[in-house]
A and B are shown apart, each in its own frame.
Chain A
Amino acid sequence: MDTLLYLTRRIAQALVVILIVTVVVFGLLHALPGGPARGILGQQATPQQITLFNHDQGLDRPLPVQYLYYLRQLLHGDLGTSYTLNEAVSQLIEQRLPKTLVLTVLSAIIGLSLAIPLGMWQAVRRNKPADYVITTLSFVAYSTPVYFLGLVLVLVFTQVLRWFPSQAPQGDTVGQVFADPVALVLPVVTGAASMVAAFSRYMRAATLENLSEDYVRTARAGGSRQRAILFKHVFRNSLTPVIAMLGYYVPVLFGGALVVEQLFNYPGMGLLFWSAAQSSDYPVLLGCVLVISVATVVGSLLADIVQRVVDPRVKGGLV
């Protein structure tokens, strides 16, 4: 019952956020040169067509009415038609999104599985040389633009060492992407690097905070060894705030994908978005923004739910 109440409330909140996102995107749509009619009919539409369309679709009506109309379109999965590719935006995204997800999810998994032990290890070795070295490295990585890092990796590994191809796997389906795992290495590593930098910092801070908690002293007083305390107690307690951070990291991941895909010519949603930005293909741009925003909202919703499962206190409403 308690959980149900929480879920309804949290989902309602997420829906409100999505609604606000649609208002922003709707606003951008109306700020477009030519207005939404052009956005939907395409670049070549004549003024007559536009007037007719505007009347047919009620675009000469007041804005709130139009907004409702826009919402109805969205609910039907209609994101408009691409200017340049002459295809429904929803279809384009449907093709590209899975590939972007492959890239981001792989980067996230690899990044986290490195960052979490690294952060803990740093906390344990606090103020020792190893901590200083890694802290400085992650500090630099944290401040490095993803594309510069990618660029350096490309130059070193494809031009100088020639270990990897400079192009990411091409192909239309997820299966084809996995068919060429070697080509996937550099894009995933680039994506994972900033993740490692950010999350080893969070994990280090969380672990340090937990190491100074009273319960650690209680466990020591009960004769538990440092290692046992670390793995049985501190690890789980430090992980929960990091999971919460993960929800907010979804937009950063997509931002990273945008750059990585452009750099390695990986045919995902990021590349779609980038080329749309070059050619002012507004329907594609706004469609992508909408989809990514919804993904972010869903991501932080999931992170909250996971946190609730991991941390019993959240269920008790104490945190």
Chain B
Amino acid sequence: MSVQSARRWGLVAQFPAPLKARFARNKLAVAGLVVVALFFLFCFLGPVLYSTDQVHTDLTQVNLHPSGSHWLGTDAVGHDEVGRLMYGGKVSLLVGLAAGVLATVIGTLWGAVAGYAGGWIDAVMMRVVDAGIAIPALFILLVVSAITTPGVTGLIVILGLVSWLVPSRLVRAETLTLKSRDYVLTLRAIGGSHSRAITRHILPNSVSTIVVAATFQVADAILLVAYVSYLGLGVQPPSTDWGGMLSAGLTAAYSGRWWLIVPPGLAIILVVCAFNAVGDGLRDAFDVKGRG
């Protein structure tokens, strides 16, 4: 049933429920939000309550099984695994969040300009996006990591620079639709400026698309940074992140020390799932298109 026919039959409520209510109805999305909040608390507030030494090695405490004193055991150099999870999580969450937001900002600007300008400017800008999509982000990341060893800031910038392409496409599509909306045409017809059309109508109406894109972007960035670290080219020891922990625990896993890879692996899955669920919920609440 099309929206129009639904409206014809009076099936669409005249006053759509407020955004918050529509989001709250999606239980998975609410759960996602809770999980995200819990992980932030765990990683940023946790170390205050549960203090561990994550810098110095302690060779008397290596490879301990999970127990009362070390809930998730210790790793090959004696770091407590729970503390390590907090320590690595800080990097994973921070880098993911910052890189996701950066990618969305770049993508939004690029897509909005291309969509609004149209014509050959749009064509050229979109070919650049096509080229960017053609070069797999993971490969470019590894090349760059091979050239220089990036710190946290560098990692954020690089991740942002390789993953703005999808949001730029979404925002361009949105801009294309919005600029031919009747209210924008009306404004242009009475002599309103381009800048007014963009700032008063197009950007405010794209906010939902942008927010949804940003949420998915953060999920992707957390995964991507885990990939890079897993392949041994992310943040360098003694600093670490969840992907790095997986990489470090790889050989140990074969000898049965599951507690070195299962917790960081589950942490990544949970957080990425949570961000994706929040994104899904927001998308449905905003009723915008984008990503299956």
Contact = CB atoms under 8 A, between A and B. Distances in A.
Nearest to A285: B143
Interface stretch (B16-24, B74-82, B102-110, B271-279): B271-279
Nearest to B166: A248
A21 interface: yes
A289 B268 contact: no
A148 B268 contact: yes
The SS class assigned to the A binding surface is: helix
A26 interface: no
B231 A296 contact: no
B253 to A, nearest CB: 6
Nearest to A135: B28
Given A148-B246, A274-B231, A33 B147 contact: yes
B272 A293 contact: no
A159 B254 contact: yes
B232 interface: yes
Contacts of A285: 139, 142-143, 146
A145 B131 contact: no
A280 B143 CA distance: 8
Contact of A277 (B137, B146, B243, B292): B146
A113 interface: no
Contacts of A198: 292
A293 B132 CA distance: 9
Given A140-B273, A282-B146, A288 B127 contact: no
Interface residues of A, number: 58
A1 to B, nearest CB: 23
> Is chain B's interface secondary structure helix, strand, loop, or mixed overall?
helix
B131 A147 contact: no
B145 interface: yes
A201 interface: yes
Interface in B1-36: 1-2
A286 interface: yes
A280 to B, nearest CB: 5
Given A198-B292, A254-B136, A277-B233, A151 B273 contact: no
B146 A139 contact: no
Contacts of B128: 20
A251 B276 contact: no
Contact of B133 (A214, A217, A245, A251): A251
B250 interface: yes
B139 A288 contact: yes
A285 B269 CA distance: 29
B64 to A, nearest CB: 20
A37 interface: no
A280 B133 CA distance: 24
Interface stretch (A44-52, A60-68, A219-227, A255-263): A255-263
B131 A21 contact: yes
Contact of B276 (A142, A293, A294): A142
Given A147-B227, A155-B253, A296 B136 contact: yes
A33 B246 CA distance: 30
Most buried by B among A148, A152, A259, A262: A148
Interface in B106-144: 127-128, 130-131, 133-140, 142-144
A277 B140 contact: no
A201 B276 CA distance: 13
A117 to B, nearest CB: 16
Contact of A252 (B127, B136, B230, B243): B136
A181 B261 CA distance: 29
B91 to A, nearest CB: 16
A148 B2 contact: no
5 A-B pairs with the lowest CB-CB distances in the bound complex, closest first: A20-B131, A251-B136, A143-B272, A296-B134, A202-B292
8 contacts: A17-B130, A18-B134, A140-B269, A142-B276, A145-B269, A151-B265, A254-B136, A292-B136
Interface of B: 1-2, 127-128, 130-131, 133-140, 142-147, 219, 223, 226-227, 230-233, 243, 246, 250, 253-254, 258, 261, 265, 268-269, 272-273, 276-277, 292
